[in-house]
Amino acid sequence: MWGTWWVWDARLTSELVLLFLYLGVISLYASFEDKVLAARAAGILAIVGVINIPIIKYSVDWWSSLHQPSTIKITEKSTMSTDMLYPLLINIFGFGMMIGAITLVRYRAEILARNGMRPWVRELAKAEEAK
Amino acid sequence: MQFESFAEFINMGGYGFYVWLSYGVTFGCLATLITLSVRKKRKVLIEIAKKMTREQRLKENRGTKS
């Protein structure tokens, strides 16, 4: 349909850069022993990488490419037909909710890990072991 | 747009391999992420409990040896 698996056009290339930024953040976090320091370094890399997001969004308008220009518009009527647009918007919302839920679940585990010495965590651990 | 039969649905107009491969990889990654995240909490608590029993044993040994 697109006619190819890969081209070096604006959107795909900037999304490849995004993938490398993700891998960089993950490996930077994993390479530190002290997790507080690790979080700080990975956070700085993530903040620097935010510049890539508007580049991805507007890359389709700035460079002519294989990808079609934006079809979901906020102020005017969208150029995508509704039988494709509504499922897409529902999916975007669903993925957003799922990512929020997974983040909260992992946040809970992280808080427990960081506070391992506190008495309230030790009680929870004892209760979990007894199960 | 309708597919005539289930076999045609699997074929996806000739693009079946690409579509189902993408679906499979996405679904596999998401399932792995969800199960690992949910099991992480229990794993963290068990680790802490193990460390506590280890510390308890060390304290007892230090008491009996000296």
* A87 and A65 in a common domain: no
ipTM: 0.71
Which residues are within 8 A (CB) of A74 and not within 5 positions of it... i.e. 6 or more apart? none
Name the residue among B38, B45, B51 with its Cβ closest to that of A105. Answer: B38
Q: Residue B41: its chain A contacts at CB < 8 A?
A: 105, 108-109, 112
Domain span holding position B38: 10-65
Poorest-pLDDT segment among A11-15, A56-60, A72-76, B54-58: A72-76
Does residue B2 lie in a domain region? no
Whether A124 is covered by a domain: the verdict is yes
Does residue A75 lie within any of the structural domains?
no
Q: In this structure, is residue B5 part of a structural domain?
A: no
Instruction: Tell me which chain A residues have a C-beta less than 8 angstroms from the C-beta of B38.
Output: 105
* B34/B38 Cα distance (integer angstroms): 6
A109 reaches B (C-beta below 8 A)? yes
Residues A40 and A5 in one domain: yes
Instruction: Give me the mean pLDDT over the B57-66 stretch.
Output: 81
CA atoms lying within 13 Å on the CB side of residue A115? 15
- Render pLDDT for A31-77 as a digit per residue (tens, 0 to 9): 998 888 999 999 999 999 998 888 888 777 777 666 666 666 665 67
| pLDDT over 90 (residue B24) | yes
Total domains in the fold of chain B: 1
Contacts across the A-B interface (CB distance below 8 Å): 46
